[in-house]
Amino acid sequence: MMESAALYRIPPVFEAFPELIAAESTRHGGVSPDPFASLNLGLNTADAPDNVRENRRRFFSSLGIDAEQVASSHQVHEDRILTVTQPGRFEGYDALITDQPNQFLSVTVADCTPILLYDPVRRAVGAIHAGWRGTVAGIVMKTVQAMQARFGTQPANCFAYIGTCIDACSFEVGAEVADQFEDGFKRFEEDRQKFTIDLKAANTAQLVATGIPANQIGVSPFSTVIHNQDYFSYRAERGNTGRMVAVIGYRPLA
């Protein structure tokens, strides 16, 4: 479902929750020139900072969010999880969780997998950045477990979204990476003499393993590579590109 002049898409799995704000950005509707055209939301790119600030203002305001309410982290492809109690920019975390209203969690991606979590019973949310290293480290499973420990979340109550990332056909890796994945998530391509990895399937399996029902998990049908006209892809654009943001948080209904 396209929204607000294509600045973002809303995950259908969350549409039943009017209190929830959850979205992932596209590459459209911003002010950045090539190769960052146009809605580059990445704070650590070579784009002009003024462009990124304006893009972030447009994206968050289109969702009714003040950019000052947003929490983010410099991501390092590991499995550290931060319980957020105030907005701001943090360092060294690839997953953020909170149970506080009006606290919006964000992760930045351009091929890696964004995962958004919502527990409507405990009113807790999570935002995860899962590249191949984070996926192998089990960051999705660990984040659900952290929500259980900190907020009393029961996985059976949770809804989750596996966001837009590099698709299985496009994510070529060598044996040194493929060896770290179970057989069900990798395939050897004879013609290319390379393995391909399905990050969406691997992270979906982690969600199911925690106890989240499969019918409460949504998966983006889009690929950063195949649908590069709508999304940034670090691999397809050889590292010189922008970044998308996935964001989640809730507001108590009046």
Q: For the whole model, what pTM was predicted?
A: 0.96
Task: Tally the domains of the chain.
Answer: 1
Determine the pLDDT at residue 4.
44
Q: Whole domain around residue 225: which residue ranges?
A: 2-165+217-250
| Long-range contacts, stretch 39-45, CB < 8 angstroms, 24+ apart | 39/7, 39/242, 39/244, 40/232, 40/241, 40/242, 40/243, 41/108, 41/242, 41/243, 41/244, 41/245, 42/108, 42/110, 42/242, 42/243, 43/72, 43/89, 43/108, 44/74, 45/241, 45/242, 45/243
Domain membership of residue 204 (yes or no) is no
CATH number, domain with residue 138: 3.60.140.10
Domain membership of residue 182 (yes or no) is no
Domain membership of residue 77 (yes or no) is yes
Determine the pLDDT at residue 253.
85
Domain membership of residue 201 (yes or no) is no
Per-residue pLDDT of the chain in tens (254 residues, 90 and over written 9) = 334 448 999 999 999 999 999 999 999 999 999 999 999 999 999 999 999 999 999 999 999 999 889 999 999 999 999 999 999 999 999 999 999 999 999 999 999 999 999 999 999 999 999 999 999 999 999 999 999 999 999 999 999 999 999 999 999 999 999 999 999 999 999 998 999 999 999 999 999 999 999 999 999 999 999 999 999 999 999 999 999 999 999 998 86
Domain membership of residue 177 (yes or no) is no
Determine the pLDDT at residue 72.
97
Domain membership of residue 193 (yes or no) is no
Give the amino acid at 176. E
Beta carbons within 10 angstroms of residue 3's beta carbon: 13
Domain membership of residue 187 (yes or no) is no
Domain membership of residue 191 (yes or no) is no
Determine the pLDDT at residue 68.
87
